[in-house]
Amino acid sequence: MTDEQKDFEKKNGFFRELFQMLRYFGRSLYDIVKKGIKEHKRGITIFLVVFGFFFILASYGLLKFTETAFFCGSCHNMKPYIESWKASSHKHVKCVDCHYKPGFINHLKGKWRDGQVSLVYVISGKTPPRTHAQIDDESCLQCHKKETLNTPILFKNVVFNHKNHLDQLKREKKLRCTTCHGQMVQGEHIIVQEVECFVCHFYSAGVEQEKKEAYSECTVCHFEAKGELKVADFIFNHKGYIKRGISCEKCHTNVIQGDGRLKENTCLQCHEKREFLETQYKPEYLHRIHVTEYKVECITCHSVIKHEIVKPHYRSTVPNECTQCHKAQDHHDDVVNMYIGKGAKFVEDTPNRKASLNMDCSMCHDANRDKSTIPAKCKGCHGNFTDNMVERWNRILKEKLDELQKDINITRASIEGKKVPSKLKRKVEEALYNYSFIVNGHGTHNIIYTLKIIEATKNVLKEVRAKVNNEPATYTSFKLSCSYACHGNIKERKVQFGSVTFPHEVHAENDDSCLNCHSKYDNHGKTIMKGCSSCHHGEGMGKVTCQDCHRNEVNMFKGEGVSGLPAMRSPKFSKVKCTDCHASIKTGSHNLQSIKATCSKCHKKGQYETKVEEWAKQNKELKVKYNKILNELDKEIIAIESKEGKHYVPLRKIHDELTEDIHFLTLGGYNHNFNYSKAIIEKIDKNIEKLKKILADKKAGKIIKLYDM
């Protein structure tokens, strides 16, 4: 046997001996353990049960702890999100209820994924980068059931319907809940930022071929504003303009800014692989990946689009077609300042009312600078009352400027060669500035402001001359004249008033007589009926019937005129005429006593006289009651609008209907039709409660749903 064989045998014997020793040890250990288990079976069982119980309890506690907001916010880059969650309407919902897809398996997958992230953080000490949270629609629909989303809601004064956006392809894109609800606003959690809406609704709004796709009709989202609104220092009412079919865009110009174009190098924000950057992808594919399958905010790729009412009357926002001309002439500032009513000496700022409504140059001017089209544009919005108005303004302006220039020349001649205080010289210079301002700014852009400037400047020049010559100064005060400035041909105009063609020629004796029927300039154009009875209730005025003026009373008698209510004729309709009860109207001595006196002509004496007094009292009480409620609601609505800085149209919508119904009831007379009046009162009371509820919800920050409207 060789030495190598001997060494091998020696090693082989060692391993064999080691194996036998381990085998004997294992068998002995098994016997000892078996014997020990047999002897201590009960104790071991109790220990395992207790250990298992505490293990499961500890595991469950650890599992729940890792699902708390405290644990989720332990990463420093998650703290802003946790804070915004605590302040949100979802603060009672656990993070995992939204961030894990519903279902036990999905929950385990989520725990496994988050566990790996936490393990990396513990081992390496490095905070993982902020992940882009992907929340599945099913998570949202756990609480927000799909059937409850079918009801339209109000979102920032806009009618919004979830069904139309989730169940229908919008611009050929499948949307998901987080397409709109996201984390775009710092400090807000799962909130809708309207910039996402604008990118979709108004993308490529400036491209003609895509305009139909980009736009929606205004009324698809917005209510029609039909009530009286306080704008600047005057009252404005959309109702007449809407009735004439004037589109929103006629006044609300420049409401869309930006085109949503793709930002340069936008893909590099997330992708850096060469094949991603070199491949040309179709928009449909890109939107399916980034919008439908994964949540990426629209403005990550697209530039921001703004949609709002803006003040366009400044150099930076005036349309290009205007600046090409006016900027070159260096008169642009004067034109704009004249329009917005500022910059002149001696007078307070007085903006053109179109400027207060944020209407820009294109309202009256075409891009081709053709002034002949201006009167037609005026008529398109205001009707035939504006016929020859622009021509009249030009004529007035020429006359007044000639007078002002003459005054300036006379004043300059009166101080020439004399030692005059610098203060007076400066006033003459300011008068010259006003003259140039009107000429360069084209005073017709703001005729009221122009007339104020001319009147004030002439008074200043009179004062200068008086002081130089040591004479008493006589001043004239500016008085706005309806016919002089605007309605010079009003006597030639006839308008429909009820069923009567109203002739101004008979009624308009002078400017003061305008206020017999119309409100002052601050509430321009509102018709106030007063003083009519002195003529129209006498004999010989048969051309005007009761119905022409007393429409509410006649309609109440007919039982029609209130929206949402069926016609309810009064039992007396077609049997009793107005003059049967109001017989004394023709004698001019019409009052409650005269009405009571007519009752006995048809009824037994004393049968209805007391009822007439009760009806009159009831009418008065209804008027006081509902006008008080209206005033209180007005204050609340104004408070909300002042806080938000805009008109809250949905509130106005109910308020306007409520106002019309109350006026119809109180003017129509409860006694003219009891059944119809009761139905109107029931409707009014329901709308009052509805409006109060919406106001309360609005104050509480709740979402207003359209079925509440």
Q: What is the pLDDT of residues 246-283, one digit of tens each?
A: 888 777 877 888 878 888 778 887 887 777 777 888 88
Q: In the prediction, which pLDDT does 328 show?
A: 45
Can you tell me the mean pLDDT for 638-663?
80
d(CA 365, CA 371): 7
Can you tell me the mean pLDDT for 90-117?
83
- Write phi, then psi, for 422 (nearest 5 degrees): -60, -30
- Among 142-146, 206-210, 403-407, 519-523, the range scoring the smallest mean pLDDT is 206-210
Structure tokens at 380: 């398109």
User: Residue 327's pLDDT band (boundaries 50, 70, 90)?
Assistant: low
Q: List C-alpha distances in Å: 288 to 18, 54, 138, 370, 682.
A: 67, 48, 18, 49, 52
Can you tell me the mean pLDDT for 129-136?
70
Q: Are 176 and 295 in contact (CB under 8 A)?
A: yes
User: Residue 661's pLDDT band (boundaries 50, 70, 90)?
Assistant: very high
d(CA 59, CA 536): 93
d(CA 211, CA 215): 6
User: Residue 685's pLDDT band (boundaries 50, 70, 90)?
Assistant: very high
Instruction: Indicate if the pLDDT at residue 519 is higher than 50.
Output: yes
The 10 Å CB-count burial string (b at 16+, else e) for 38-52 is: eeeeeeeeeeeeeee
Q: In the prediction, which pLDDT does 212 show?
A: 47
Q: In the prediction, which pLDDT does 683 show?
A: 94
**Burial (Cβ within 10 Å: 0-12, 13-18, ≥19) of residue 392:** buried
Q: In the prediction, which pLDDT does 205 show?
A: 60
Q: What is the pLDDT of residues 381-415, one digit of tens each?
A: 777 777 788 888 899 999 999 999 999 999 999 88
Instruction: Indicate if the pLDDT at residue 461 is higher than 90.
Output: yes
Q: Are 706 and 152 in contact (CB under 8 A)?
A: yes
d(CA 166, CA 291): 13
Q: List C-alpha distances in Å: 632 to 52, 290, 638, 692.
A: 68, 50, 10, 10
Q: What is the pLDDT of residues 300-313, one digit of tens each?
A: 888 888 888 766 55
Q: What is the pLDDT of residues 140-167, one digit of tens each?
A: 888 888 777 777 787 877 888 888 888 7
Instruction: Indicate if the pLDDT at residue 458 is higher than 90.
Output: yes
User: Residue 708's pLDDT band (boundaries 50, 70, 90)?
Assistant: low
Where do we find the tokens 């009860």? 581
- Among 98-112, 229-243, 304-318, the range scoring the smallest mean pLDDT is 304-318
Where do we find the tokens 């139909």? 212
Q: In the prediction, which pLDDT does 314 show?
A: 45
Q: Are 204 and 259 in contact (CB under 8 A)?
A: yes
Question: Per this entry, what is the length of the chain?
Answer: 709
Q: What is the pLDDT of residues 349-369, one digit of tens each?
A: 888 888 877 777 777 887 666
Detail the DSSP E strand segments found in 177-314. Answer: 181-182, 191-192, 228-231, 234-237, 256-257, 306-307
Most confident of 22-31, 54-63, 681-690: 681-690
**CB-CB neighbours of 100 under 10 Å:** 21
Q: In the prediction, which pLDDT does 4 show?
A: 67
Q: In the prediction, which pLDDT does 187 show?
A: 62
- Mutual angle of helices 674-699 and 649-668, in 10-degree steps: 160
DSSP reduced 3-state for 307 = strand
Q: What's 340-396 look like in SS3?
A: HCCCCCCCCCCCCHHHHCCCCHHHCCCCCCCHHHHHHHHHHHHHHHHCCHHHHHHHH
Instruction: Indicate if the pLDDT at residue 376 is higher than 60.
Output: yes
Detail the DSSP E strand segments found in 444-499. Answer: 494-497
Domain locations in the chain as residue ranges: 12-57, 66-131, 146-307, 320-478, 579-708
Q: Is the dihedral of CA 624, 626, 632, 638 positive or negative?
A: negative
Q: In the prediction, which pLDDT does 210 show?
A: 47
Instruction: Indicate if the pLDDT at residue 221 is higher than 90.
Output: no
Residue 123 CA to chain centroid, in angstroms? 53
Q: Are 236 and 243 in contact (CB under 8 A)?
A: no
Q: In the prediction, which pLDDT does 366 show?
A: 75
Instruction: Indicate if the pLDDT at residue 472 is higher than 50.
Output: yes
Q: Which long-range contacts (CB under 8 A, 24 or more apart) does 178-183 make?
A: 178/134, 178/135, 178/295, 179/291, 179/295, 181/140, 182/295, 182/297, 183/81, 183/84, 183/133
Q: 191-192 and 306-307 as β-strands: parallel, antiparallel, unpaired?
A: unpaired
Q: In the prediction, which pLDDT does 682 show?
A: 94
Structure tokens at 609: 């006289």
Q: In the prediction, which pLDDT does 398 show?
A: 93
Most confident of 191-195, 320-324, 406-410: 406-410
Look over the chain and give the mean of its residue pLDDT values, rounded to a whole number.
79
Q: In the prediction, which pLDDT does 108 show?
A: 82
DSSP reduced 3-state for 626 = helix
User: Residue 209's pLDDT band (boundaries 50, 70, 90)?
Assistant: very low
Can you tell me the mean pLDDT for 606-614?
78
Q: Are 338 and 441 in contact (CB under 8 A)?
A: yes
